[in-house]
Each structure stands twice: as C-alpha cells, then as structure tokens.
Amino acid sequence: MAITVSIELNRDLEIPAGYDEVFELLADVPRSASYFPKVDKLTDLGDNSYRWEMEKVGVDKHAIQSVYACKYYSDKDAGKITWEPIKGEGNGVVSGSWTLAANGDDATRVKFRTSAELTVPLPSLLKLAISPVIKHEFNSLVDTYMDNLKKAF
C-alpha cells in the first residue's frame, strides 16, 4: 500500500552576483546540490544525469526516504537550466527549471520552479495526515537551499 504526494514550488530571488557566476554554479549539479540540505547521496549516472538520495525522515520501519533521478539541460544564452525525471529511478518523479536574468553587473534575478510526485509506502488512510507534513518538509528544504545559495555569493 502506498500514497502519492504531489508538490509544486515556485521561488523568485535575487542573488548578489553576476549572471555568469550564478549560471555556472546552478548548471553544475554536484556543486549546486552541495547547498541543498539533507542530501544523503548524489550519484552521477553519466550524461548530466544524477540520482538524488535524501536522508531518511522518521524512525525505524516508519522512516521515509526520497529517491529520484533527473537529466539536466542548460542553455546559458537562454538563461535556462531544466531537469526532467528519469523513469524507474526511486520513489519520486521530479522536474523543474531555473530561469536567470542579469540585473545589472552584480546581481541576477532567479526563478526556481519544480514539481514533484513522491510515492511513500504508507496506508492510504494516512494520506490526509502525512501529505501536509511531506509538503512542509519539502518547502523547508527548498527555502534552506535558497538561503544557502544566497550566502554562497
């Protein structure tokens, strides 16, 4: 028995660094991922594809772990970095994008968009109770990631 939780997140921020520097960091998945909290393991699958394994949340047999893989594409001229899910990898399906625009010489406007579906092995009776908890945790991780990225510059 399993439940699926869908999450959509949008964040807009300004990073106090030039466009080239910000794009370089965000397009480098392992480097960018180093600022994302609670990543247990990031595995290079080749061809700019990576498997993300997040830290387990919970206790013993009730622990939940998110695992998913994405292929990344970057287009510096268009100011876009996108990721698409790799099917059959883990219990999550994640896609999204970064959109960047220079704001003068020393700042970059960044838009982060992502959607995720996470399937967890819990009885469907728990969906109403657990969905808000999973969504809150995901929001919290992304907010911390955004803060960490700002501090990196």
- For 48-81, write each residue's pLDDT tens digit: 999 999 998 766 666 788 999 999 999 999 999 9
pTM, two decimal places = 0.91
Instruction: Supply the pLDDT for residue 59.
Output: 64
Q: Where do we find the tokens 């919290």?
A: 140
Helix 19-27 crosses helix 127-152 at what angle (to 10 degrees)? Answer: 130
Domain interval for residue 60:
3-152
Reduced to 3 states (helix: H, G, I; strand: E, B; else coil), residue 16 is: coil
How far is residue 73 from each of residues 69, 84, 120, 125, measured CA to CA in Å? 14, 9, 28, 39
Going 29 to 34 to 38 to 42, the CA torsion angle's sign is positive
Total number of domains in the chain: 1
Reduced to 3 states (helix: H, G, I; strand: E, B; else coil), residue 35 is: coil
Percent of the chain with pLDDT over 70: 97
Instruction: Supply the pLDDT for residue 131.
Output: 85
Q: Tell me the CATH number at 121.
A: 3.30.530.20
Q: Which residues pair with 73 in a beta bridge?
A: 82
* Average of per-residue pLDDT across 27-41: 97
Q: What is the pLDDT of residues 96-137, one digit of tens each?
A: 999 999 999 999 999 999 999 999 887 787 778 888 888 888
Percent of the chain with pLDDT over 90: 78
Instruction: Supply the pLDDT for residue 134.
Output: 84
